Structure 1
Amino acid sequence: MVRSLHLDAKGTAALIAFIRERRRELARPCVVALDGRSGAGKSTLAANIAEALGAVVLDSDDFFAGGVAVRSDAPQDRVRDCIDWKRQRPVLEALRAGREASYVAFDWDAFDGRLDTEPTIVEPRSVVLFAGVYTARPELSDLVDVRLLLQASEATRVARVLAREGGIGAWERQWHEAEEWYFTHVVPQHAFDAILGEPPKAD
Structure 2
Amino acid sequence: MAAIRQARLAVSHRDSRPLVVALDGGSGAGKSTLAGRLRRELDLALIPLDDFFSGHIPDACWDTFTVAEKLERVFHWERLRRQVLVPLLAGQEAVWHPFDFAGGLRPDGTYGLAQTPRRCPPAEIIVVEGAYSAGPALADLVALAILVDVPVAERHARLARREEAGFLRQWHARWDALEHYYFTQVRPRDSFDLVVNNSGEGPWISK
User: Which 4+ stretches in 1 moved above 6 angstroms?
Assistant: none
For residues 132 and 57 of structure 1, the distance between their equivalents in structure 2, rounded to whole angstroms, comes to 11
Shift, 1:51, TM fit:
1.0
TM-score, structure 1 length as denominator? Answer: 0.84
Work out whether residues 23 and 127 of structure 2, in 8 Å CA contact, stay in contact via their aligned partners in 1: yes
2:162 to 161, 164, 171: 164
Matched position secondary structure for 1:143:
coil
Alignment CA distance shift 1:200-1:118 (3 Å): closer
SS at match of 1:181: helix
Which sections of structure 2, spanning at least 5 residues, go unmatched?
106-110, 202-207
Is 1:194 the counterpart of 2:204? The answer is: no
What is the percentage of aligned positions where both structures have the same residue? Answer: 36
Specify the alignment match of 2:98 in structure 1.
105
Q: Distance in 2 between matches of 1:81 and 1:73?
A: 9
Please say if 1:82 is aligned against 2:74: yes
What SS does the corresponding residue of 1:142 show, helix, strand or coil?
coil
Separation in 2, partners of 1:67, 1:192: 33
Q: 5 Å matches for 1:149-160?
A: 149-160=147-158
Change (3 A) 1:200 1:127: same
Give deviations 1:166-199, integer Å, cap 9, x for gaps: 2221244311211111122222223311111146
Query: What residue is the counterpart of 1:52 in the other structure?
Result: 41
Give the unaligned 5+ runs of structure 1.
1-15
The 3-state SS of whatever aligns with 1:33 is strand
Counterpart of 1:96, as a letter, is L
Q: CA deviation at 1:20?
A: 0.4
Distance 1:128 1:31, change over 3 A: same
- Equivalenced residues, count: 186
1:142 maps to what in 2? Answer: 140
* Cα drift, residue 28 of structure 1: 2.6
Give the 3 Å change call, closer, same or farther, for CA 125–155 of structure 1 in structure 2. Answer: same
Q: Which moved more, 1:37-46 or 1:163-172?
A: 163-172
8 Å CA contact 2:21, 2:143 repeated in 1: yes
Distance of 1:17 and 1:158 partners within structure 2: 29
SS class of match (1:49):
helix
